[in-house]
Structure 1
Amino acid sequence: MHISRWARTVAVALVVAGATTVAASAPASAALPVCNAAAWVSDIKGHGQFGREFRRYQPLRNDVVHFNQCYLAVGTRGEAVRALQVALNACYSRGLVADGIYGTKTRDALAAVQRSLGRTADGQFGPDTEYWMRFPDYWSSDGTFAGCESSWERR
């Protein structure tokens, strides 16, 4: 069977266009594992003798080297989702029920925060959102609220 050069060119163009469409429609976080836990992460506010230790409770993946290399989206459940909901309430006054269920209200609340930060407002939690979003800090010495801060603000 003989296939004309024109037919082969069209077939290749369609395959390339289809592959490009599929790649463009998948979110960047699709290749990341789901955040499967939450943990207290410690850090220091201030410098030298004036520094004070604080703790932050945030979503993570407990079996990867870089704990923030994970994502959350609608349908995800668990302690990682609850930690995200608590942060949305404490730092952005979103009024969510911190039930550990990532539903449309959590998605919409996160999308509003992402929009306010000038980020892609897809309502999914991934490394970019984790870096820019504020999480509540608590003083390690007595557990009192120490304000909200993002990773980029600590740099």
Structure 2
Amino acid sequence: MSRPKSGLVAGAVLLSGLGLGLATASPAAAYDGYCNSYVERTKTFSGTTHTAYIPSYNRSTNCYMNSGATSSAVGVLQRSLNVCYGRSLTIDGIFGPATKAALEYAQDREGIGVDGKYGNQSRDHLKWEFSHIGSLKCVRL
């Protein structure tokens, strides 16, 4: 092999190796961590302040969860999927097949990527249950 060809081959191998490394990076790497709790968010409707509970990781809503997760964060997601999307999940804090299917349903309804995983896109585009004594609203953050 001539020197120019061997240089091209070495460069191609290096670039493909870099591309492979980027392609296999975990999507969770872009998040602060797996959702392990929740935070309160408030909005005012007609002069009344309503509260929603949003999944979080150590108070940051920049978190991720998918099948197999177990936490209070899963429970608040399940509650909003039930109230805002008419699902009938048991609110048990376990992200199992039923929660994944309910999340996929909501993702499809909101016109975002349907993958059954919770992350920033789901957080920003799904409707959340904002409640106040005897009153609730389903709205985006």
Q: Which moved more, 1:80-89 or 1:29-38?
A: 29-38
The whole-number CA distance in structure 1 between the counterparts of 2:10 and 2:88 is 52
Q: Is 1:102 aligned with 2:95?
A: yes
Amino acid aligned to 1:39: V
The residue number in structure 2 matching 1:5 is 4
* Change over 3 Å in CA distance of 1:30–1:110 after alignment to 2: farther
1:40-51 equivalence runs, <5 A: 40-46=40-46, 51=47
Q: Which moved more, 1:125-134 or 1:95-104?
A: 95-104
Q: Is 1:74 aligned with 2:74?
A: no
Question: What do residues 77-115 of structure 1 show as CA deviations (whole Å, max 9, x unaligned)?
Answer: 110011111111111112222111112221222122112
| 2:53 aligned to which of 46, 53, 57 | 57
Q: Is the 8 A contact 2:130 2:137 kept in 1?
A: yes
Q: Is the 8 A contact 1:37 1:60 kept in 2?
A: yes
The whole-number CA distance in structure 2 between the counterparts of 1:117 and 1:26 is 27
The residue number in structure 1 matching 2:111 is 118
The structure with more strand, counted as a fraction of residues:
2
TM norm structure 1 = 0.77
TM norm structure 2 = 0.84
Residue 76 of structure 1: CA displacement? 1.3
Amino acid aligned to 1:38: Y
Gaps of 5+ in 2: none
RMSD: 2.2
Amino acid aligned to 2:10: A
The residue number in structure 1 matching 2:134 is 144
* Change over 3 Å in CA distance of 1:107–1:30 after alignment to 2: farther
The whole-number CA distance in structure 2 between the counterparts of 1:80 and 1:100 is 7
Q: Is the 8 A contact 2:42 2:130 kept in 1?
A: no
* Change over 3 Å in CA distance of 1:11–1:96 after alignment to 2: farther
The whole-number CA distance in structure 2 between the counterparts of 1:58 and 1:148 is 13
Q: Which runs of 4+ in 1 moved over 6 A?
A: none
SS of the residue corresponding to residue 99 of structure 1 reads: coil
* Number of aligned residue pairs: 140
Amino acid aligned to 2:40: W
